[in-house]
């Protein structure tokens, strides 16, 4: 056996794992008679999707786009495709962490003034669905992430909170929930969460959806 063949065999499990579809993206077959819920958000929401589905099993059909919803500008481009033609009872949505990425120079990928414009347009479009909306605050940015500035999410969350208040959209403040327990639920120098951390976020998300559904 050559060295290259040995390395190919050695790396095969990791390559297979990378190619395997994310189960959070699996299509959902609606259970008749249950309300339909849509989760919109980046990788943080992808991380808690399966746990939200588990917690709301038998109470709601929980869907999400089969992709990372990324930043607010991308959301505006893709929103109609994500909404589809079906009726939604509750839409739980967030944009922020990707808006805050610093690509080049001192500015974020989506500067705050443009973020505000984008959010207003997103809320306006989402309201036309007739669904009950829930805005999810952007979770904390710890030090050492490199591509984002620690604490910048506070400015974006404040702007979003003002817009949601004006629009009458309830807020699921996952930032406030996560902040005092980051050491135990968030990965070091990383915006992402441990599996247990994602499960704890999911419990908060599911609780807000239950309230919106009136159960």
Domains of the chain: residue spans and CATH? 30-213 (3.40.50.1110)
Confidence band (pLDDT; 50, 70, 90) for 57? very high
Give the predicted TM-score (pTM) of the model.
0.90
**pLDDT tens digits for range 59-115:** 999 999 999 999 999 999 999 999 999 999 999 999 999 999 987 766 788 999 999
8 A C-beta contact, residue 65 and residue 121: no
Work out the average pLDDT over 138-150.
Answer: 92
| Of 60 and 3, more confident | 60
Residue pair 114/194 in contact by the 8 Å Cβ criterion: no
Per-residue tokens: 132: 């009950």
Q: CA–CA distance from 72 to each of 10, 54, 79, 114, 131 (Å)? A: 40, 28, 10, 9, 19
Distance CA 186, CA 7 (A): 33
pLDDT in tens, 19-44: 678 999 999 999 999 999 999 999 99
Tell me the mean pLDDT in the region 166-183: 98
Work out the angle at residue 158's Cα, subtended by the Cα atoms of residues 153 and 160, and round it to the nearest 5 degrees: 95
């Amino acid at each position: 056996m050559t060295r290259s063949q040995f390395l190919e065999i050695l790396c095969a499990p990791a390559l297979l794992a990378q190619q395997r579809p994310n189960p959070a993206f699996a299509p959902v077959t609606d259970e008749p008679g249950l309300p339909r819920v849509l989760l919109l958000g980046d990788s943080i929401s992808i991380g808690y999707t399966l746990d939200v589905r588990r917690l709301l099993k038998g109470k709601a059909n929980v869907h999400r786009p089969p992709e990372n919803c990324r930043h607010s500008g991308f959301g505006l481009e893709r929103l109609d495709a994500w909404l589809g033609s079906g009726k939604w009872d509750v839409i739980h949505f967030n944009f922020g962490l990707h808006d805050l990425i610093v690509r080049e120079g001192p500015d974020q990928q989506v500067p705050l003034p443009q973020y505000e414009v984008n959010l207003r347009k997103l809320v306006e479009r989402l309201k036309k669905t007739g669904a009950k909306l829930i805005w999810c605050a952007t979770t904390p940015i710890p030090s050492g992430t490199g591509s984002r500035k620690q604490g910048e999410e506070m400015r974006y969350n404040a702007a979003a909170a003002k817009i949601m208040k004006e629009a009458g959209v309830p807020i699921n403040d996952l930032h406030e929930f996560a902040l005092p327990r980051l050491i135990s639920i968030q990965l070091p120098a990383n915006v992402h969460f441990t599996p247990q951390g994602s499960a704890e976020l999911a419990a908060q998300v599911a609780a807000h959806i239950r309230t919106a559904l009136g159960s």
